[in-house]
Amino acid sequence: MIKSLYARIVITFLCIVTISVILGGLIINYFYESHVESTVQKKMIANAEMIVQVYKQVEQGGEKTLMEISNSFPFYAVQIYDSYGTLLYPGRTVMDQQEVQPYLQKVLKQNAGYHKQSNENGDITVGLPFMLNGLPHAIFITTQVSILLDEINDLTEFLQFFVLGLGSVLVLIATRYIVRPLQVLTRATQRMAKGDFSVSLHTKRSDDIGQLTRSFNTMRAELGRLDTIRKRFVADVSHEFQSPLTSIKGFTHVLKHKPMDEQSRIRLLSIIEEESNRLSRLCVDLLELSSLEHEQLRLAPQTFRLDEQLRKSVIRLEPQWFIHNLDIQLILEPISILADEDQLNQVWINIIGNSIKFTGHQGRIIVAARKQGQNVLVTITDNGIGIAEEDLSQIFKPFYKADKARNRNVRGNGIGLSIVKQIVDLHHGQVEVSSKVGTGTTFRVTFPQHFAEPEL
């Protein structure tokens, strides 16, 4: 089996060139047999008629000279027979006398024209009757084209082999030109598979190879960005785990070795409990994201009031927004939907919680829900710090945190919005975000009012 693309293309092109040369030869032969032969016969008949006319008009004794002149024409042999079948003025002959007799009698008796193509050498013979001195005569003209045809065949074969050879060389060159960018792409892919995302390919081509090269560069940049995000996420998760673990370990050591009153002991235990809950939330988020990404989660649709769910989500987050004295406005239509209530609850908790974290003191958050045809539209708008334009296309990707400064005052592990995107996708919905730095952010979530889970 041929595995090399270069070899496959070369063999394919060579086969095409070979087949084309063979078909070309067959077409030339067909053209000769169907057109050239007919044209030659017509010319021969015309020449025979002209010779007959001249033969009738020459004076006594000039016939021999006429025949000598006629037979001197290249590729022609002329024979004239009388009514008894006797060859007059024998000279250069092509057809054997015994071979010509059956056709001669046919021409003389039936007063009909005759043509014959020899199977041996390809010569063409035309016989015509004519009357001279009241007696039937016959003239036969034979074209001696075999020599010419041999030359033409030799030339044709030479041209065929020349075209085949030249085509093969051009195919080798053209194929190398086609395959070289693919070989470069292969080497670049191998480097990228080893973790080297710095490789970049340059091309000025606008064909499919150029598009493939540009797509590779886009993929490389995206994979490089994801690798950077992954590394940063590992660092963030390590820090997230290390910080509470350090606190738990330190406070446990204090409780174990240092005497203290009940109030101090309760305070340290509360800190340990809070840090333990923090670790638990982080683990739950990671497991949830893994389950959603690998489509292991089966939704449990049920009918419930979406407006009530949004209202309860805001109430649940009251301790967070009350501290910042935020103005929460609800614009909710009474809407009953069929969806997974628990999963959608995570969506609202994550988005509203995100808005609370990034909205300043005495800011405003508007939560609205309304029907939109067969769909439901939920918008959550704040007047917080906003999101930079270059981060808008990244915030739903796993492990991404627009908070590049890693502000410890803003809690988060960078996977909340990833969970939102996965849940909305499972509900056949769409989540969009628009934002402007310093002005605020708006999340728009659209999904069918009546969710139907596809059958397995």
| CATH at residue 368 | 3.30.565.10
Mean pLDDT over each residue of the chain, to the nearest integer: 78
Residue 408: its pLDDT value, please?
41
Has residue 419 got a pLDDT over 70?
yes
Residue 403 and residue 363 share a domain? yes
Residue 332 has a pLDDT of: 93
Q: Same domain, yes or no, for 10 and 104?
A: yes
Please state, in angstroms and as integers, the Cα–Cα distance from residue 392 to each residue in 66, 353, 397, 436, following that order: 102, 18, 10, 10
Say whether both 266 and 329 belong to one domain. no
Query: What are the tens digits of pLDDT across the range 98-136?
Result: 667 777 777 877 666 666 655 455 677 888 888 888 788
**Residue 236: inside a domain:** yes
Structure tokens at 155: 């030339």
Determine how β-strand 76-81 pairs with β-strand 135-143: antiparallel
- Looking at the domain assignment, is residue 335 inside a domain? yes
Which residue's entry shows tokens 């906003």? 386
Q: How far apart are CA 77 and CA 90, in angstroms?
A: 11
Tally of domains within the chain: 3
- For position 455, what pLDDT does the model report? 46
In angstroms, the Cα distances linking 109 to 105, 113, 126 are 6, 11, 16
Domain boundary among 248, 274, 293: 293
Examine residue 48 and state whether it is found in any structural domain, yes or no: yes
Using alpha carbons only, give the angle 442, 318, 403 rounded to the nearest 5 degrees. 45
Of the residues 251, 266, 293, the one at which a domain ends: 293
What mean pLDDT is predicted for residues 433-447?
Answer: 91
Give the span between the Cα atoms of 164 and 49, in whole angstroms: 45
Is 165 a member of any domain?
no
Name the residue among 372, 386, 391 with its Cα closest to residue 430: 372
The residues near 139 (Cβ < 8 Å, ≥ 6 apart) are 48, 51, 52, 55, 78, 79, 80, 81, 127, 128, 130
CA–CA distance, 456 with 454 (Å, rounded to integer): 6
Q: What is the pLDDT of residues 353-393, one digit of tens each?
A: 889 988 888 899 999 999 998 999 999 999 988 888 888 87
Same domain for 307 and 269, yes or no, is no
Other CB atoms within 10 Å distance of the CB of residue 177: 10
| Domain identity same for 282 and 371 | no
Same domain, yes or no: 71 and 109: yes
CATH, residue 33: 3.30.450.20
pTM beyond 0.85: no
In a domain, 194, yes or no: no
Q: Considering the domain boundaries, does residue 93 fall inside one?
A: yes
Domain CATH for 261: 1.10.287.130
Query: pLDDT-derived band of residue 337, with 50, 70 and 90 as boundaries?
Result: very high
CA atoms within 13 A on the CB side of 342: 6
User: What does the pLDDT look like over 177-191, one tens digit per residue?
Assistant: 777 777 788 888 888
Whether 306 and 258 share a structural domain: no
At residue 85, the 3 state secondary structure works out as coil
- Please give the residue range of the domain that contains residue 252: 208-293
The answer on 13 and 136 residing in a single domain is yes
Domain presence at residue 42:
yes
Task: Report whether 193 contacts 219 (CB < 8 A).
Answer: no
Residues 384 and 348 in one domain: yes
Ranked by mean pLDDT, which of 26-30, 90-94, 112-116 comes out on top? 26-30
Q: Could you give the CA distance from residue 174 to residue 176 in angstroms, rounded to a whole number?
A: 5
Rg over alpha carbons for the chain, rounded to the nearest Å, is 48
**Could you tell me if residue 122 is inside a domain?**
yes
Whether residues 337 and 285 fall in one domain = no
- Choose the final residue of a domain: 101, 126, 149: 149
Distances (CA, A) of 12 to 19, 168, 176, 177, 230: 11, 11, 14, 16, 45
